[in-house]
Structure 1
Amino acid sequence: MSEAKSLTLPESLPASKEGSPRRALWAACGAHAVHDGLTDLIYVLLPIWQAQFAISYAMVGLLRGSYSGMMAGFQLLASRLARRWGRKRLLVGGTALAGAAYLLAGQAGGLAVLLPALMLGGLGASAQHPLASSLVADSHEAGGGVKQALAQYNFAGDIGKMLIPAAAGLLLTVASWRLSVMLAGLLGLAAAGALWRWVPATPGG
């Protein structure tokens, strides 16, 4: 009996770990697709905002720079905060903040609301790249498909860049920009809920 157990036990151990890397990869790819799609959606909206609010090209650049600047500037801080608060909480919270920022932008009547909304969106987006990529790397052992997993993670971002702005562009032909922006915000909130369920509850970043 003891010999039989010693033979069957090692075979059952890898099976218990099979779901974790796959689950982590799906979560990271979903986060990358949504965040990159919401980031590139700004390019579709900037000409509309310029016409809607009669702003100059300099202000258009400021709007774009406020989002990208916040996103780039807080990425290192996101990695540090993840060590204290947990990667899952920070990634979910950042995604929810990005979605809420689009909901706020959909209610904007001018730069006084639109500019802070984009800054909040960039702040939320700053959590995705460092935390989702580390999620993929940590869930796959070296030499165990981590390079392929990271390639799939990067490709998911390109899919999001293509699908979300394209879908918004089509929606703009039949609906107002406010509705399109608010739907993008709801997408971000829905993604945050999905990440809360799918991201493994492991500390650190």
Structure 2
Amino acid sequence: MNPTESAAPTGADPGPSPRSGPEAPGRSRRAVLALAVLALAHFTISVDFNIVYIALPQIGDALGFSAASLQWVVTAFSLGYGGFLLLGGRAADRLGARRMLVSGAALMGAASVAGALAQDPAVLVASRALQGLGAAALFPATLAVLTAAFPAGPARIRAMAVWGTAGAFGALAGGAVGGILTSAFGWPAVFWALVPATLAVVLAAPVVLPADVRRPGRASFDLPGAAMVTAGSLLLVLGISLGQSVGWASWQSAGALLLGALTLVGLLLFERRAADPLLPVRLLTNRSLLVTMALVFVLMGSVNTLHYVYTTHVQVTLGLSPLAAGLGFLPQGLAAMLGSALLLPPLLARWGVRSALFAGVAGSGLTAVLFAVAVAADSYWAMLPAVVMLGVTAGTTYPVLFAAAGAGVSDDEQGVASAMVSTTQQIGAAVGLASLVAVADAAAGPASSGLGAAAVAGGLATLAAAFLALALRRTPAA
């Protein structure tokens, strides 16, 4: 996936593909359509994270959730997604990326219909878990297909920029979209809205995406490894979710985290001896992959905290309504789109992945400090520059992280490599938010000073982590 390195084509159609020869109009059109499908899939996954937040009060009142149980509407998605990402990534490598992409989108769509029609809490929570499971199959498949369909170099740089733009905008616009839909049509609309997008992916993918290539000797599937990686990931995500709701020192949270860690350690020992491992242990010796996982762990903890700082400050301190707060976050989504589409390609072409990643992560750290300054000013307009800068820096850095993660990883292991990074992203976001909210709570003085302290702490950690990018191998600019 590294835009500065060449890779052998995989998953190509029998006919001409985007990798072959000068681009004829038909091939160029097909490449555009393929990228549009991959971008739509990434957007759908990203928007599904945040679209339900503003609808939670309505959901609780309509379906009879208790105050303690309502958080499971969010947690269930995290469990399905974070718990099954590694399995979804390896399934994309073994069973075919396009096949898993279609299956994941179909499951997300069906679960969205079930959620919209839910009449009791259990059905809604189950539908959210199935949405997460579908996303766990869909996300790594999008990256595996992108690697197969676009050659390393300028073509993949452009594709990664569009793919990253769609994901960044979905993540950042989800709150606003959820607020608008809930205000206009009620809470079921946040589920119905995902159905047309997933249906479009299901119908278009078999037509415009490269066909899966059957790989000799890859028909077997490591069932014990699949069970262990899924159980370990589920326990870790569950432990983090329980830590946020009932406390990190509780036996439920600590026990789940300990069991999850022990299961994953056992997985590594088992996979070292497996003839055809689900999680190849050699990937853990890949410098680019390890550095990227460390970077995304710190970065997403800081970014997740800044979202918390923003929503808490503008609603609690400044008194904005949920809808106004959601709309106020839209400039970040626009900045992320423009940054990924216009800034990322020339940045990668001029500097290469290593320097671009250092600049992006360091810029995100400085943006966190800017948030702290804005919080002290007690005005949305004072916060707007920080909101825009977060869109530019984080939105531009996100696709570069996945480009760096794929360096030196073979095409038939891209799915599991991207799943490893995304699983680390989910864990880092949860751990970072919990840690920095604790910093906010411990800070003396008014609530705004606590939010500012959390932003500064996250920014300093991100600035320090940026230097990890310099451990990547230097590659020539495209």
What's the TM-score bracket when you normalise by the shorter of the two chains? 0.7 to 0.9
- Which sections of structure 1, spanning at least 5 residues, go unmatched? 1-11
Among 23, 26, 30, which residue is 1:15 paired with?
A: 23
**Which AA in structure 1 matches 2:23?**
A
Q: CA deviation at 1:28?
A: 1.2
1:126 and 2:136 matched = yes
| 1:173 counterpart SS class | helix
Deviation at 1:116, TM superposition (A): 1.0
> Counterpart of 2:156?
146
Q: Does 1:67 align with 2:77?
A: yes
Paired with 1:112 and 1:96, the residues of 2 have a C-alpha distance of 21
What is the CA–CA distance in structure 2 between the aligned matches of 1:195 and 1:92, rounded to whole Å? 7
2:120 aligned residue (97, 110, 116): 110
Q: Which stretch shows the higher mean deviation, 45-54 or 24-33?
A: 45-54
1:23-172 aligned within 5 A: 23-163=33-173, 165-172=175-182
Cα shift readout 1:137-187 (whole Å, capped 9, x = no counterpart): 232222334234212211111222355653443233332323453343343
TM-aligned CA distance change 1:162 to 1:191, over 3 Å: farther
Structure 2 residue 188 is matched with structure 1 residue 178: yes
Structure 2 alignment gaps of length 5 or more: 1-19, 214-411, 416-478
Give the TM-score normalised by structure 2: 0.37
Match of 1:4 in 2: none
Larger displacement relative to structure 2 (191-200 or 86-95): 191-200
State the TM-score, normalized to the length of structure 1. 0.80
- Which whole-Å CA distance do the structure 2 matches of 1:45 and 1:121 have between them? 17
In 2, Cα distance between equivalents of 1:109 and 1:99: 18
Change beyond 3 A, Cα 1:191–1:38: farther
Hey, what's the Cα distance between the residues in 2 that align with 1:15 and 1:153? 20
CA contact under 8 A between 1:29 and 1:156: conserved in structure 2?
yes
Letter matched to residue 203 of structure 2: G
User: What one-letter code is carried by the residue in structure 1 that aligns with 2:49?
Assistant: T
Which amino acid in 1 is paired with 2:82?
Answer: A
Tell me by how many angstroms 1:119 deviates: 0.9
Distance (whole Å) between structure 2 residues aligned to residue 91 and residue 76 of structure 1: 14
How many residue pairs get aligned? The number is 194
Shift of 1:60: 2.2
Q: Distance in 2 between matches of 1:190 and 1:22?
A: 15
Contact 1:34 1:191 survives alignment (8 Å):
no
Greater helix fraction, Structure 1 or Structure 2: 1
Structure showing greater Rg = 2
The alpha carbon displacement at 1:95 in A equals: 0.8
Q: Is the 8 A contact 1:20 1:200 kept in 2?
A: no
CA contact (8 A) 1:32 1:153 kept: yes
RMSD over equivalenced CA pairs, Å: 2.5
* Partner Cα distance (1:175, 1:63) in 2: 19
Supply the AA of the counterpart residue of 1:26: A
The one-letter code matched in structure 2 to 1:177 is: W
Question: Matches of 1:165 and 1:37 in 2, distance apart?
Answer: 8
After superposition, the C-alpha distances for 1:41-71 in whole angstroms (9 at most, x for unaligned) are 1223322212223323431222211101211
Distance in 2 (alpha carbons) for counterparts of 1:39 and 1:177 = 15
What's the % identity of the aligned pairs?
Answer: 29
In 2: Cα distance, 1:176 partner to 1:19 partner: 39
Structure of greater relative contact order (alpha carbons < 8 Å, 6+ residues apart):
1
- SS at 1:58's partner residue? coil
